[in-house]
């Protein structure tokens, strides 16, 4: 069990062209956490701070931010250093202003990330993980970033364990997220860790976050995958499969939904979605089963709720898609974070 602190500085590191939602989303979650603590008679947990290499900068949408504090040279109070992202083009280009931020980050955080009992943490949002890689702060850690930047991250941090298709990852004092909205998911996860699940749920409700995603969720939900097309009939079939994956679907019933023959449905699905209808259904069912397992269901119950005929059929589908077993995969995905915090707690 790691140490808890009475107060935490949330220090947002803001480079030129930072993505505004990367700042506002997590910051608002921390502000609301303080608000809900006050309603429960508790003192504020998070002190919001905003810093940069210049006192004034411009965000990705052109909105200027002023009165930023200088990036500190040392950390005093327990601090979460939140490194926000920039547009993909800026992350690839690495202008001089970004290099200055990376150098300051390296000096500020390198020692703390290797300290066994450091009260400080590095939190990266979207391409902020790329900035942390340029600062040399990711060696030996599991981390993730936006799917468009995975290859760049691997090139910049060859000694890091870069994991793709995750909403966020927590590995000891490093927490990283995949994209702008994933920064809110990560903030809610960290708030739950510090303030409890009930308070984090209240924050999510205030922010109208429909589903609080976990570190085990893929970056792109199977419910959204293979849908970057405009074919109405294929969308109609996909909607039906997503709404009722446990139903006993076959090609005949799916073709009836699309008002085409089975052979033509297969051609249309392959042309527009890139997979067969039954392959798409298998992905939806596996995701439903994974979510059920994450919330404590047995393999048998998860299989039934997702539309598999038995726990054995789920295990076979899981093995084909991801390898291993459902239970082993869930435990292995969560283990790095637990092991790292156990080391920090001593």
Residue 220: what pLDDT? 56
Domain boundary among 195, 220, 245: 220
Residue 341: what pLDDT? 40
- pLDDT score of 11 more than 90: yes
Domain boundary among 181, 196, 220: 220
Q: Is 144 in the same domain as 262? A: no
Residue 117: what pLDDT? 86
Q: Label each residue of 92-161 as H, E or C.
A: HHCCHHHHHHHHHHHHHHHHHHHCCCCCCEEEECCCHHHHHHHCCCCCCCEECCCHHHHHHHHHHCCCCE
- pLDDT score of 245 more than 50: yes
Residue 344: what pLDDT? 38
Q: Is 212 in the same domain as 241? A: no
Domain count, the chain: 2
Q: Is 189 in the same domain as 258? A: no
- pLDDT score of 332 more than 70: no
Q: What's 311's domain CATH number?
A: 1.10.10.60
Task: Please check whether residue 107 lies inside any domain of the structure.
Answer: yes
- pLDDT score of 343 more than 80: no
pLDDT, tens digit (0-9, with 9 covering 90-100), for 184-219: 999 998 998 899 878 888 898 899 875 556 655 665
Q: Is 175 in the same domain as 313? A: no
Residue 212: what pLDDT? 57
pLDDT, tens digit (0-9, with 9 covering 90-100), for 56-86: 999 999 999 999 999 999 999 999 999 999 9
Q: Is 178 in the same domain as 261? A: no
Question: For a pLDDT cut of 70, what percent of the chain falls above it?
Answer: 89
Task: Please check whether residue 339 lies inside any domain of the structure.
Answer: no
Residue 211: what pLDDT? 54
CA distances from 172 to 6, 24, 81, 140, 166 (A): 20, 24, 14, 11, 17
Residue 346: what pLDDT? 39
Q: Is 100 in the same domain as 239? A: no
Find the mean pLDDT for residues 96-107. Answer: 93
- pLDDT score of 345 more than 60: no
Q: For residues 227 and 239, is the Cβ–Cβ distance under 8 A?
A: no
Q: Is 35 in the same domain as 172? A: yes
- pLDDT score of 162 more than 60: yes
Task: Please check whether residue 225 lies inside any domain of the structure.
Answer: no
Which comes out higher in pLDDT, residue 165 or 264? 264
Domain boundary among 220, 243, 259: 220
Residue 87: what pLDDT? 94
Residue 320: what pLDDT? 85
Q: For residues 145 and 129, is the Cβ–Cβ distance under 8 A?
A: yes
Q: For residues 123 and 83, is the Cβ–Cβ distance under 8 A?
A: yes
Residue 288: what pLDDT? 87
pLDDT, tens digit (0-9, with 9 covering 90-100), for 106-159: 999 999 998 888 999 999 999 999 999 999 999 999 999 999 999 999 999 999
Task: Please check whether residue 56 lies inside any domain of the structure.
Answer: yes
Residue 330: what pLDDT? 61
Q: What's 199's domain CATH number?
A: 3.40.50.880
Q: Is 158 in the same domain as 185? A: yes
- pLDDT score of 335 more than 70: no
Task: Please check whether residue 227 lies inside any domain of the structure.
Answer: no
Task: Please check whether residue 118 lies inside any domain of the structure.
Answer: yes
The residue range of the domain holding 74 is 8-220
Q: Is 195 in the same domain as 246? A: no
Q: Is 209 in the same domain as 105? A: yes
pLDDT averaged over the chain? 88
Question: What gap in Å lies between CA 277 and CA 251, rounded to an integer?
Answer: 8
Q: Is 247 in the same domain as 195? A: no
Q: Is 104 in the same domain as 133? A: yes
Task: Please check whether residue 337 lies inside any domain of the structure.
Answer: no
pTM score, two decimals?
0.68
Gyration radius of the chain's alpha carbons: 22
CA distances from 21 to 28, 104, 120, 135, 217 (A): 10, 23, 23, 23, 21
- Map residue 270 onto helix, strand or coil: helix
Enumerate the β-bridge partners of residue 228: none
Residue 141: what pLDDT? 95
Task: Please check whether residue 66 lies inside any domain of the structure.
Answer: yes
Find the mean pLDDT for residues 258-287. Answer: 93
What does the DSSP assignment read for 193-229?
A: HHH-HHHHHHHHHHTT-SS---TTS-SS-TTTTT--S
């Amino acid at each position: 069990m790691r140490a808890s602190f009475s107060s935490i500085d949330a220090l947002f590191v803001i480079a030129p062209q930072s993505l505004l939602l990367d700042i506002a989303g997590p910051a608002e979650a921390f502000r609301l956490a303080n608000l809900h603590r006050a309603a429960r008679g508790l003192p504020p947990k998070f002190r919001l701070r905003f810093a940069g290499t210049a006192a004034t900068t411009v965000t990705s949408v052109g909105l200027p931010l002023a009165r930023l504090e200088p990036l500190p040279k040392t950390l005093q109070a327990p601090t979460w250093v939140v490194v926000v992202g920039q547009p993909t083009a800026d992350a690839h280009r690495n202008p001089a202003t970004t290099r200055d931020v990376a150098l300051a980050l390296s000096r500020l955080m390198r020692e703390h990330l290797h300290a066994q009992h450091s009260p400080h943490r590095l939190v990266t949002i979207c391409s902020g993980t790329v900035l942390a890689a340029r600062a040399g702060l990711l060696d030996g850690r599991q981390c993730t970033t936006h799917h468009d930047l995975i290859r760049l991250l691997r090139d910049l941090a060859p000694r890091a364990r870069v994991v793709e298709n995750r909403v966020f990852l927590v590995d000891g004092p490093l927490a990283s997220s995949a994209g702008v909205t994933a920064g809110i998911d990560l903030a809610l996860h960290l708030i739950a860790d510090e303030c409890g699940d009930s308070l984090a749920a209240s924050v999510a409700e205030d922010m109208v976050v429909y589903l609080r995603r976990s570190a085990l969720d893929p970056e792109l939900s199977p419910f959204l995958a293979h849908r970057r097309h405009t074919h109405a009939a294929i969308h109609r079939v996909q909607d039906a499969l997503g709404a009722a994956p446990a139903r006993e679907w076959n090609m005949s019933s799916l073709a009836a939904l699309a008002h085409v023959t089975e052979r033509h449905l297969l051609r249309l699905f392959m042309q527009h979605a890139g997979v067969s209808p039954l392959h798409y259904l298998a992905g939806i069912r596996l995701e439903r089963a994974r979510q059920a397992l994450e919330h404590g269901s047995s393999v048998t119950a998860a299989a039934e709720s997702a539309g598999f005929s038995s726990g054995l059929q789920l295990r076979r589908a899981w093995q084909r898609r991801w390898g291993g077993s459902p239970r082993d995969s869930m435990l292995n995905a969560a283990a790095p974070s637990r092991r790292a915090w156990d080391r920090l707690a001593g």
